[in-house]
Homo-oligomer: A and B are copies of this chain.
């Protein structure tokens, strides 16, 4: 997760306890047990130069590498808040799980081969059963390092079919695929990209509510991944 405010409700819900940090990264790790599995909540931590949460793809990639090396996870979840589109029936507070591929919409590299690398297209685990059982929406998650959306972004998103717009998931998915770890995203909607109110304003107004909604659904997602015969990453309870 990128922001401490996004992570606080799930850390509390799981009763997760902070463990060793990972210098020189500012990332923090909180560990809990759910059923008989270990759950690690990793956040990117506070940027020492700018004293804000380390959002965006670089911090997400670095934290994910650290998580992969330190905890050897069976599954990675990129969790947090995101934008959605009214035109695609998103509402503030909706919780989406990823489907299809994770894509970037701000890496335009017009050289054959590099164009596809720019988009990324890293796989999500199949969340169809999870979404149906838990009553969650499914969407393609599209990532950039900007909170806003300009004409180039709009053009790229129109091509990649993005339903959920945020700033980290494709970077987590990139490292997850390198490491061979199954990965999905769970994202709560704080703002509507196609609403007349500025994204930053909607985000500030809805961050606490969306993070609380996120925590509730994350607990259900984690329990499903561990306990269900339909879990896309295997039944952890019976195999651990």
Contacts and interface: CB of A to CB of B under 8 A. Distances in A.
Contact of A117 (B50, B104, B114): B50
A113 B50 contact: yes
Contacts of A121: 49
A182 interface: no
A171 B54 CA distance: 13
Copies of this chain assembled into the complex: 2
Interface in A85-124: 104, 106-111, 113-114, 116-118, 121-122
Given A24-B175, A175-B62, A150 B147 contact: no
A106 B50 contact: no
B111 A171 contact: no
A56 B174 CA distance: 12
B58 A171 contact: yes
A117 B55 contact: yes
A67 to B, nearest CB: 12
Interface residues of A, number: 51
A41 to B, nearest CB: 21
B147 A108 contact: yes
A55 B178 contact: no
A75 interface: no
B57 A114 contact: no
A193 B121 CA distance: 28
Contact of A61 (B48, B62, B145, B147): B62
Interface in A136-181: 145-148, 150-152, 171, 174-175, 177-180
B116 A68 contact: no
B61 A178 contact: no
A55 B114 contact: yes
A97 B107 CA distance: 25
A23 to B, nearest CB: 8
A176 to B, nearest CB: 9
Contacts of A68: 24
A49 B146 contact: no
A107 B56 contact: yes
Contact of A109 (B116, B147, B151): B147
User: Which 6 pairs between the two chains have the least Cβ-Cβ distance?
Assistant: A50-B117, A108-B146, A24-B179, A107-B145, A24-B178, A58-B61
